[in-house]
């Protein structure tokens, strides 16, 4: 490559990077958020917001209903809780549109349109679907709605013509399906949508307090709203290096879930590592230090939460205003789409 083409390529890349992204992401209101959500998603969402992108962050209550349809009462309460989690982690309603999915009806309309063009085998071979059906055997998930879960995600994304979707690796097959659906729409009707891209979060997965993936169903989470006493209790009961039986034995920090936390939260983690390797520090002391760091880390988030809990009206108002902002964009998109496919009755 000569220097001229290199420069052109570089400029193009730079121009692309400079373009404002339209971001959309969401979480299902099935329970309170934990440290894994913060490191794996919210931190990145906030960064994207603070970089000046156009951000839509929703609470995916319809998606929650797809698995929690037998006890839907908890969804509303969790919606409120998650809104507080979003806000206390720094999502700013002045910069981002924070809203409730079910209040913007165009998601459902676009879902209907997409569902007409999605071949069922695409959905049946979705690895996430197959995995969840196998894993959540206690639930009847062979429903029409659950099979269409990714179709609803595609609608969430395209109703705002989002360009970039920050998600964890587990959601990648869904974004891939969105891309397929969009291409199919463009092929049948008009080259209308840009094909969106996923933005993979760099943060490594945070293990739960038992070393497995942090998940509500395993009971191994540290919640963002967890009180300091419970945080300490949970961390002190964490499994450590299984090969270290006595304090005088040297530890294996790289195999220890407690050390995984130190790397993420403790700026002096190298020092901890050396002390563990040379058995200068025991596991109990190591966990005690960690618990203090985590309590301190969550302090400002929890203070913000307390403030918001005192003023629920304010939280609902933020969601209402976000929903109004989102609806304006969604209405415009649906109007255009209905014109494209010719299902419009404006003359009536």
Residues within the interface to ligand TRP (CB under 6 A): 24-28, 60, 63, 153, 156-157, 165, 167, 171
Q: How far is the CB of 303 from ligand TRP (least distance, A)?
A: 27
Nearest distance from residue 177's CB to ligand TRP, in Å?
A: 11
Q: How far apart are CA 158 and CA 108, in angstroms?
A: 12
Q: What is the smallest separation between the CB atom of 338 and ligand TRP, expressed in angstroms?
A: 22
Strands (E), the chain: 22-27, 54-59, 96-100, 164-167, 197-200
Q: Which is nearer to ligand TRP, 26 or 322 (CB)?
A: 26
Please state whether beta strands 54-59 and 96-100 pair in parallel, antiparallel, or not at all (unpaired): parallel
Q: Output 99 or 259, the one with its CB closest to ligand TRP.
A: 99
Of all residues in the shown chain, the one whose CB is closest to ligand TRP is: 60
Which is closer to ligand TRP, CB of 64 or CB of 318? 64
Closest CA to 151 of 174, 173, 127: 174
**Shortest Å distance, C-beta 24 to ligand TRP:** 6
Q: In the complex, what is the shortest distance from the CB of residue 237 to ligand TRP, in angstroms, rounded to a whole number? A: 28
Give 55 or 231: the residue with its C-beta nearer to ligand TRP. Answer: 55
Contact 29, 78 (CB under 8 A): yes
- Closest residue by Cα to residue 35 from 43, 46, 45, 24: 43
| Cα atoms in the 13 Å half-sphere on the side-chain side of 301 | 25
Specify the residue, 157 or 326, whose C-beta has the smaller distance to ligand TRP: 157
Distance of CA 149 to the CA centre of its chain: 15
Return the residue matching tokens 């034995």: 249
Residue closer to ligand TRP, measured from CB, 24 or 221: 24
The contacts of residue 82 (CB under 8 Å, 6+ apart) are 27, 29, 32, 33, 59
Could you give the C-alpha distances from 245 to 44, 143, 304, in angstroms and in order? 38, 49, 41
Question: For residue 52, how many C-alpha atoms fall within 13 Å in the half-sphere facing its CB?
Answer: 4
At its nearest, how many Å lie between ligand TRP and the CB of residue 278?
42
- Residue 165 CB, nearest distance to ligand TRP (Å)? 5
Nearer to ligand TRP, 153 or 283 (CB): 153
| Burial class of residue 118 in the structure, from the number of CB atoms within 10 Å of its CB (0-12 exposed, 13-18 middle, 19+ buried) | buried
CB of 206 to ligand TRP, least distance (A): 15
Cβ of residue 156: shortest distance to ligand TRP, in angstroms?
Answer: 4
Q: How far apart are CA 4 and CA 207, in angstroms?
A: 48
Phi/psi at 199 (5° precision): -115, 105
Instruction: Kindly provide the residue ranges of all beta strands, DSSP E only, lying in 131-203, ordered along the sequence.
Output: 164-167, 197-200
Q: Which is nearer to ligand TRP, 27 or 214 (CB)?
A: 27
Of 153 and 329, which CB lies nearer to ligand TRP in the complex structure? Answer: 153
- What are 143's two structure tokens? 């429903």
């Amino acid at each position: 490559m000569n220097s001229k083409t290199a420069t052109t390529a570089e400029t193009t890349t730079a121009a692309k990077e400079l373009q404002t992204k339209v971001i959309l992401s969401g979480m299902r209101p099935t329970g309170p958020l934990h440290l894994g959500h913060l490191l794996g998603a919210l931190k990145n969402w906030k960064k994207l917001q603070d970089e000046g992108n156009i951000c839509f962050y929703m609470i995916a209550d319809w998606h929650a209903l797809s698995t929690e349809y037998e006890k839907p009462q908890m969804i509303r309460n969790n919606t409120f809780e998650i809104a507080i989690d979003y806000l206390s982690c720094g999502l700013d309603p002045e910069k981002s549109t924070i809203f409730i999915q079910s209040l913007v009806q165009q998601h459902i309309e676009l879902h209907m349109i997409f569902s007409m063009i999605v071949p069922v085998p695409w959905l049946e071979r979705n690895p996430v679907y197959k995995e969840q059906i196998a894993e959540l055997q206690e639930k009847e998930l062979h429903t029409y709605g659950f099979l269409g879960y990714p179709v609803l995600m595609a609608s969430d994304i395209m109703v705002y013509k989002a360009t970039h979707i920050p998600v964890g690796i587990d959601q990648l097959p869904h974004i891939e399906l969105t891309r397929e659906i969009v291409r199919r729409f463009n092929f049948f009707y008009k080259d209308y949508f840009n094909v969106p891209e996923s933005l993979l979060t760099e943060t490594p997965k945070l293990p739960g307090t038992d070393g497995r993936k942090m998940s509500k169903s395993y009971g191994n989470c540290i919640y963002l709203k967890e009180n300091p006493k419970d945080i300490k209790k949970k961390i002190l009961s964490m499994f450590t290096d299984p090969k270290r039986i006595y304090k005088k034995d040297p530890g294996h920090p790289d195999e220890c879930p407690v050390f995984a936390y130190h790397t993420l939260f403790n700026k002096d983690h190298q020092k901890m590592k050396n002390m563990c390797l040379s058995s200068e520090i025991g596991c109990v002391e190591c966990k005690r230090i960690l618990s203090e760091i985590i309590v301190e880390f969550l302090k400002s988030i929890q203070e913000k939460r307390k403030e918001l809990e005192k003023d629920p009206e304010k939280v609902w108002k933020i969601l209402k205003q976000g929903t109004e902002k989102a609806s304006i964009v969604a209405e415009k998109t649906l109007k255009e789409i209905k014109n494209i496919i010719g299902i419009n009755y404006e003359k009536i």
